[in-house]
């Protein structure tokens, strides 16, 4: 009897852990079942009705999108399907690298003909698991940290996780570059400048506490903030140049890249081509990590949990088409920067790319 009860419990747990994929969605999938599948507590009062309405609208949009045989990507249901618009926007925290910062500029001596047809750092054993930034706009810290983890592993042979919270809590953003700091955004260039000066701690001594998005946490200066890794600087890649970007990726390691990610929220799988070359499709507001590519797509690591997208990743269609980001101050630059910039690639992915220089372990 005990074994039978245990078996039933395992079956129930498995059911909760396996929400429907895009091809399993139907109009009968209820908000109540969605809450169960994602382990969420039912909202109260008017909040319940508002979130249920959002969920039902997004479910209908997903089913309509997926019914199009020409679609190259699938829209799904995930943990953000009942989030309010302002909650989704808070994920981005603005961001994209500022060109007002002192950095090394990589020379474009690359040739497309010399590049392999496909490449993926995940197959090299130098990429840590996808993480969850929660409701905090700390994408910049997670992307900077993830790229640094890989560069440390490439340079030393040690794959070690590092602390995004150290950056969120301690790094200043005096010129409001890509946001206002902490959960309100910053840049990879700033992050690596901070690591060059202070190092970056381990997540075990400096754990993530900003998941709820209501605090940047405390900047500790005692032993818990001792550096686990260091850099000597940051290298910026030639802007809006796919060949230079891929050459830097193959030769050096994963890159911190800046994208317009508002259209990404409902992505589940496939090659994403959902960013227009204007409006939200070119409004750079999010930092992620380029880890590889194939003939059709760029492989991007996100920080919205492994349950989003393809195990936490998205494949962006390769294109060199360009558009204008007409609000770079909420995603690309610092105070006093240009009013508009040209961004190329799907979701502007080629505009601003960088990687840490001289990454290593602290002694």
Which residues are catalytically annotated?
A: 139, 286, 302
What's the pLDDT score for residue 15?
45
Tell me the per-residue pLDDT of 318-349, one tens digit each, with 9 for 90 and over: 999 999 998 765 544 566 667 789 999 999 99
Residue 54 pLDDT exceeds 50? yes
> Whose CA is closest to 361, among 142, 124, 103, 151?
151
Q: Which residue has the tokens 């409701």?
A: 135
Tell me the per-residue pLDDT of 16-46, one tens digit each, with 9 for 90 and over: 558 999 999 999 999 999 999 999 999 998 8
What's the pLDDT score for residue 95?
40
Tell me the per-residue pLDDT of 166-214, one tens digit each, with 9 for 90 and over: 999 999 886 666 567 899 989 999 999 999 999 999 999 999 999 999 9
d(CA 158, CA 119): 21
In the CATH hierarchy, which top-level class contains the domain 89-361?
alpha beta
d(CA 164, CA 210): 10
The structural domains of the chain, with segments of one domain joined by +, span 13-82, 89-361
């Amino acid at each position: 009897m005990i074994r039978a009860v245990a078996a039933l419990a395992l079956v129930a747990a498995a059911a909760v852990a396996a929400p429907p994929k895009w091809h399993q969605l139907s109009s009968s999938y209820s908000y109540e079942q969605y809450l169960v599948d994602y382990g969420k507590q039912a909202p109260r009062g008017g909040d319940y009705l508002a979130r249920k309405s959002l969920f039902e609208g997004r479910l209908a949009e997903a089913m309509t999108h997926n019914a199009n045989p020409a679609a190259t990507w699938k829209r799904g249901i995930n943990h953000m399907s009942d989030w309010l618009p302002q909650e989704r926007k808070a994920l981005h925290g603005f961001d994209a690298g500022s060109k007002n910062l002192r950095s090394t500029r990589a020379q474009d001596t690359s040739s497309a003909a010399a590049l392999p047809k496909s490449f993926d750092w995940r197959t090299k054993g130098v990429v840590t698991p996808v993480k969850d930034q929660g409701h905090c706009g700390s994408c910049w810290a997670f992307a900077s940290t993830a790229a640094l983890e890989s560069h440390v592993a490439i340079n030393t042979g040690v794959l070690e996780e590092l602390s995004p919270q150290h950056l969120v809590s301690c790094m200043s953003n005096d010129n409001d570059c890509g946001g206002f700091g902490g959960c309100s955004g910053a840049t990879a260039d700033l992050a690596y400048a901070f690591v060059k000066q202070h190092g970056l701690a381990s997540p075990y001594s400096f754990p993530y506490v900003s998941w709820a998005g209501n605090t940047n946490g405390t900047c500790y200066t005692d032993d818990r903030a001792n550096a686990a890794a260091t850099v000597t600087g940051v290298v910026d890649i030639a802007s809006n140049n796919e060949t230079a970007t891929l050459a830097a990726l193959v030769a050096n390691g994963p890159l911190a890249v800046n994208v317009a990610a508002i259209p990404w929220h409902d992505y589940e799988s496939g090659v994403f081509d959902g960013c227009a070359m204007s409006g939200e499709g070119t409004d750079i507001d999010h930092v992620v990590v380029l880890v590889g590519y194939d003939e059709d797509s760029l492989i991007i690591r996100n920080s919205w949990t492994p349950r989003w997208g393809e195990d936490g990743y998205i494949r962006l269609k390769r294109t060199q088409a360009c558009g204008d980001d007409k609000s770079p101050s909420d995603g690309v630059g610092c105070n006093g920067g240009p009013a508009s910039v040209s961004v190329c690639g799907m979701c502007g992915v080629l505009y601003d790319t960088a990687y840490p220089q001289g990454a290593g372990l602290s002694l």
